[in-house]
Amino acid sequence: MKKDHRTQDFATVDERNVARLGIVSLQTRVGPETRWSSAFTVGTQSYRLEIRAADGRPRGIDTNVLIGIESLFAAHDSPRDNWLHTTAYALREASFLPNNGSSYHRLRESLLRLWSTGFIVSEGWASPSHDQIRTNVTLRLIDKIAFLDLGGDDETERLRKLVPEATLSIRIGDELARSIRAGFTQALERQLLTAIEQPPARALYRLLEAHRYTDAGRPLPELSVGLLDWRQACGIQDEKPARVLRTLCEAHEELVAQRYLAEVRIEGSRRNTSITYVFSAHQQADPHLVRLLISVGVAAPQANKLACEAPERVEDVVDYVKRQVVRRPDQLRSPAGLVVDMLNHPDKYVLEDRFSAISTSGGQASVRNTTLVDLAERAAAEAAERERVKLSGLRPHEQWEHVRSSLKVLIGKRLRQNDWARMEDACCQGVLNALEIKHEYISAQAQQKTESYMEELLSRLQSLSER
């Protein structure tokens, strides 16, 4: 069977609600718990849940596997039936596990733990009679799994492992899938996840990311938590404060060493200990802004860079350029150049309103709509030429890897899974040119001819499948 290599460049996605609840223990080894409850407060938000897990509490690498499942589900455009059809090989890669037999055994065990875990989330509600009523919702992480496995020499269940390249099908729980589709996710930094060596530090990073952002997406410079509440949020079984801190110590040291945390302060008395996490001042691209930039033709690496460097201008600039595309489809054939130039040189442009831009020179401001179009054409042509020169020397499959992310945003939702697979194969074999498809679609978009272009592309893909 063909290996799925698409795990190399998709975004790492993590659903924020589940991450906040602390269902997966930060510890790699836990006692034989099959039923437990937790109640804790982080910031102003209180959490209360009851968990039942027939195969034991999720722990250790289960954090990796859950992130891998959610990332692959999002990369497959979050299918409406909630089924993720992938391979154990792809899930192992998306879960940051080494490529060996042990990983496929551990992956099987982890999937079964996640599948066997159900939980009840409770919310406080005051009735008119002042009796305490709780609204309870039962949830699951995974509803069903279909997979092929094989046994060890003695064929015992303990040694069974997944078949790497066989189809692995996972049906994600309804609420979890719905939340991913709604975009209530956090884009974890893939480079940091792979650099972190120990599962507890990776689990703590995920938990901190879930709690450090407000629901509106605003990051907090630091997060203070009570140790007893944090123990439950982390899923640490030991209740003694000294042992809880000892369990967290190595994870703290690794996250500071990786420069994710600038400082960890432990304050207060033995009975009233608090931890303050001070986050390093590093920027992370907002996934929404990256998607906006890619939608107008900006290449994915440059989109990530611009979203980090000028997040406050991206939406206004993209909105302005899209309006120019509608008003001047024949003149502004490629909007990416103007977007890049406006974001790279903010001193040259001031967006007065949604319909006009001001180009400044020598301290004098003047409205220059015609010049802006000329500038966009020149910048777009130069950028396109640089991209063509850069990619022309690459082999077809390498060209595909450079353009795949942009194509996924531009036309991914317009293609069925088998059509996307046909296009990928054709581009990797050199039958189709991925870069040309990208520029053809953007040109059709500017001329409001996307429907006819997609019909033509689908016809080409269909003819390829009939050969």
Is this prediction's pTM over 0.85?
no
Nearest one of 185, 55, 71 to 110, comparing CA atoms: 55
For residue 27, is it within any domain? Answer: yes
What is the 3-state composition of the chain as percent helix, strand, coil, each rounded to the nearest 5?
Answer: 50, 20, 30
| Structure confidence at residue 190 (pLDDT) | 79
CB under 8 Å to 43, separation ≥6 — which residues?
Answer: 211, 223, 225
For residue 1, is it within any domain? Answer: no
| Structure confidence at residue 244 (pLDDT) | 93
Same domain, 120 and 200: yes
Same domain, 245 and 196: yes
Q: In terms of C-beta density within 10 A (0-12 exposed, 13-18 middle, 19 or more buried), how is residue 341 classed?
A: buried
Whether residue 40 contacts residue 47, with contact meaning beta carbons closer than 8 Å, is answered with: yes
| Structure confidence at residue 465 (pLDDT) | 74
Q: Which long-range contacts (CB under 8 A, 24 or more apart) does 265-268 make?
A: 268/227
| Structure confidence at residue 379 (pLDDT) | 55
- Domain end point (choices 254, 279, 304): 279
Q: How far apart are CA 97 and CA 65, in angstroms?
A: 9
| Structure confidence at residue 7 (pLDDT) | 41
Given the DSSP bridges, would you call strands 142-146 and 167-172 parallel, antiparallel or unpaired? antiparallel
Same domain, 121 and 65: yes
C-alpha triplet 108, 114, 118: angle, nearest 5° = 150
Whether residue 119 contacts residue 96, with contact meaning beta carbons closer than 8 Å, is answered with: no
Same domain, 21 and 80: yes
Same domain, 304 and 176: no
* Number of domains within the chain: 3
Please state, in angstroms and as integers, the Cα–Cα distance from residue 307 to each residue in 106, 216, 288, 347, 376, following that order: 37, 17, 9, 17, 20
| Structure confidence at residue 382 (pLDDT) | 63
Same domain, 232 and 366: no
Q: How far apart are CA 110 and CA 107, in angstroms?
A: 5
For residue 453, is it within any domain? Answer: yes
Same domain, 28 and 17: yes
Token pair 């030991």 in the structure block, residue: 238
Q: What are the b/e assignments for 165-181, b being 16+ CB within 10 Å? A: eeebebbbbebbbebbb
Same domain, 403 and 429: yes
Same domain, 126 and 18: yes
- Domain end point (choices 257, 279, 301): 279
For residue 238, is it within any domain? Answer: yes
For residue 365, is it within any domain? Answer: yes
Q: How far apart are CA 87 and CA 110, in angstroms?
A: 15
CB under 8 Å to 440, separation ≥6 — which residues?
Answer: 453
Same domain, 377 and 400: no
CB under 8 Å to 362, separation ≥6 — which residues?
Answer: none
Same domain, 16 and 154: yes
Q: What is the DSSP letter of 323?
A: H
| Structure confidence at residue 107 (pLDDT) | 95
- Domain end point (choices 390, 413, 432): 390
| Structure confidence at residue 162 (pLDDT) | 92
Collect the ranges in the chain with pLDDT lower than 50: 1-8, 124-130, 353-370, 372-373
In the 3-class helix/strand/coil scheme, how is 81-123 assigned residue by residue?
CCEEEEEHHHHHHHCCCCCCHHHHHHHHHHHHHHHCEEEEEEE
For residue 232, is it within any domain? Answer: yes
3-state secondary structure of 359: strand
| Structure confidence at residue 199 (pLDDT) | 87
For residue 312, is it within any domain? Answer: yes
Residue 323's domain spans which residues?
285-390
For residue 75, is it within any domain? Answer: yes
Q: How many CB atoms lie within 10 A of CB 380?
A: 23
Same domain, 292 and 265: no
